[in-house]
Amino acid sequence: MDPGTQLPDKLLSRISIAKAELEAAPEVRVISHYDADGISSAGVLSNMLLRAGKHIHVTMTKSLTDKLISEVSAGCKTMVLSDMGSSHLEALEALDCKVIVLDHHSPQKDSEKVVHVNPHLAGIDGMTSASASAVCMLLAAHMDEKNWDLLPIAFAGIAGDRQAIRGLSGLNQWLYEEGLKRGVVEVRPGSMLPEGGLLNGLIGSTDPYVIGVSGSPEGAAALMAEAGIPANAEVERLDDAQRMKLSSLLALRLTAQGTPMSTLDEIVHERYHFPRWGMSADALAGLLNACGRSNHEGTGLALALGDAEAMETARALRQAYVDEVQASLQRVVKNGLIKAENIQYFYNDNLGLSGILSGVAMQYFGDRDKPTLALSDTGEEIKVSSRGTFELLDKGVDLAAALRECGQKVGGVGGGHRIASGATVPRGRDKEFLELVDKMVGEQKARKKDAS
């Protein structure tokens, strides 16, 4: 019999230490990232800690700074950081309290003092095979078997960090197998079509992003008419012929705009459905993401804690977010991307949207051979979001290293994952930064080419 996915002892032993620390703590200060994975992590941890009778105080933030670390640590005895912390170990080690880090970003080092739980340290790739929420879920499952009902929240983090699009692996796969045994998750076939109301779904879709259909009520209605589908159709009610016709038309449009087969395959990845929540991991990720991106992280957390009103608020935030993303994407398509030798970039005045805009441009209409960077001027500094593709990683590109090193060279900071990373650089130094990244990406590719 297939024994299923096994987890490395090194990961499990760190989880046991974290569990023991938390069991002994009456009060826990939680700091988490503000994106879908960060809110989902905070959601799993908060449910877990409240059930265990702990007093908690949760903060979600865009970025962890030494100043924030020192502020939140005042008077605190036990602190947990999720989806962040691995690149701040030195500052955390200097604190006078117990610190647990549950992160999945590439760590620069390990720690003797901090309980550092990071899948990379145990041979699991945190970029593809373990979201931060998955690490939190592993801890929650070890704290109490009853916490398996938190799996949908954890899966929103997996989906939010796009770790389900090429099939699950590593810790994510282990959680799925265990969830299946307990009947908390179902797998459903993937589809090119959105969930729910078709017209609205097509207009709001960024996965796939179809030029002339996404963001365009007229374009979406015309495409449905071409497929012989009435404007008020629900996706679940379509017959096979209608589904096939519409999916083929979408695939044709995508191919015509230069979207490669590999992206089309990713769009039709299997969906993880949670019967008790009545929604898929992608749908829940969409809600949490909209909360985080619109500075309503608290609503996302309340939703994860089961607040029905927060769910309604999140749905409204999601609609407003979708409208804003579509309007911004239309501007990026219209203005085009600026191409350097090895990268492509654009300036965007809506800071919170940089990640999604650069991701969609990279996946659906940009030059496949150049990582995409979105830059936003906050008035105080320039924030950068970069996205690559798996093909670019195969060619040697490492955006975490490029944005970290080039960010530092111009007096800023940067880091993240090889395929998705960010930086903050001083105003006026963005051009220099872009030149350095362009050069470094070229060097990364050349090094890989020489080695193979």
Of 85, 194, 204, 416, the residue at the interface with ligand C5P (CB under 6 A) is 416
CA distance 25 to 23: 6
How many alpha carbons fall within 13 Å on the CB side of residue 324? 17
Q: For the segment 188-247, give every residue that binds ligand C5P (CB under 6 A).
A: none
User: Kindly report the CA angle at 203 between 202 and 209, in degrees rounded to 5?
Assistant: 70
Tokens 């005042």 belong to 74
Single residue of 156, 423, 425, 437 touching ligand C5P by CB under 6 A: 423
Q: Does 371 bind ligand C5P (CB under 6 A)?
A: no
Among 422, 425, 440, 444, binds ligand C5P (CB under 6 A): 422
To the nearest whole angstrom, how small is the minimum distance from the Cβ of residue 355 to ligand C5P? 3
Q: Which of residues 280-299 bind ligand C5P (CB under 6 A)?
A: none
173 vs 130: CA distance, rounded Å: 9
Kind of pairing between the strands at 27-33 and 55-61: parallel
Among 369, 424, 435, 445, binds ligand C5P (CB under 6 A): 424
**What string marks each residue from 96 to 135 as x (binds ligand C5P by CB under 6 A) or -?**
---------x------------------------------
Min dist. Cβ of residue 300 to ligand C5P (A):
16
Question: Which residue, judged by CB position, is nearest to ligand C5P in the bound state?
Answer: 416
Q: Give the one residue of 19, 116, 269, 417 binding ligand C5P; rule: CB under 6 A.
A: 417
Q: Give the CA angle between residues 370, 373, 378 to the nearest 5°.
A: 170
In whole angstroms, what is the distance from residue 19 CA to residue 283 CA?
30
Among 41, 172, 372, 385, binds ligand C5P (CB under 6 A): 385
CB of 37 to ligand C5P, least distance (A): 8
Residue with tokens 């209605």: 221
User: Residues 340 to 369: which contact ligand C5P by CB under 6 A?
Assistant: 355
Exactly one of 157, 160, 215, 415 binds ligand C5P (CB under 6 A); which one? Answer: 415
Cα separation, 49 vs 82, whole angstroms: 14
For residues 442 and 431, give the distance between their C-alpha atoms in angstroms, rounded to a whole number: 17
| Choices 65-73, 90-98, 239-247, 412-420 (CB under 6 A): range interacting with ligand C5P | 412-420
Instruction: Please give the biggest Cα pair distance in the chain.
Output: 66
**CB 157, min distance to ligand C5P, A:** 12
Shorter beta-carbon distance to ligand C5P: residue 348 or 385: 385
- Smallest separation, CB 430 to ligand C5P (Å): 14
Distances (CA, A) of 125 to 47, 175, 189, 285, 448: 26, 15, 26, 21, 20
Burial class (CB in 10 A: 0-12, 13-18, 19+), 288: buried
- Phi/psi for 186 (5° steps) reads -125, 150
Positive or negative, the CA dihedral 323, 328, 331, 332 is negative
Structural contact between residues 106 and 398, judged by C-beta atoms closer than 8 angstroms: no
- Please say whether the beta carbons of 104 and 14 come within 8 A: no
Residues 33-72 that bind ligand C5P (CB under 6 A): 63
Q: Which is nearer to ligand C5P, 192 or 392 (CB)?
A: 392
Question: Using CB under 6 A, which of 194, 292, 300, 414 touches ligand C5P?
Answer: 414
Least distance to ligand C5P from the beta carbon of 415, Å? 3
Residue 178 or 381: which CB sits closer to ligand C5P?
Answer: 381
Nearest CB to ligand C5P, comparing residues 59 and 424: 424
Among 25, 143, 279, 420, binds ligand C5P (CB under 6 A): 420
- Mark the segment that binds ligand C5P (CB under 6 A) among 256-264, 272-280, 342-350, 410-418: 410-418
Contacts of 402-406 with CB under 8 Å at 24 or more apart are 402/371, 402/437, 402/440, 402/441, 402/444, 403/437, 405/440, 406/433, 406/436, 406/437, 406/440
For 114-179, give the DSSP string: SEEE-GGGGT--TTTS--HHHHHHHHHHHH-GGGGGGHHHHHHHHHHTT-STT---HHHHHHHHHH
Side-chain half-sphere CA neighbours of 176 within 13 A: 25
> Which C-beta is closer to ligand C5P: that of 344 or that of 385?
385
Note the residues at the interface with ligand C5P (CB under 6 A).
63, 105, 355, 385, 413-417, 420-424
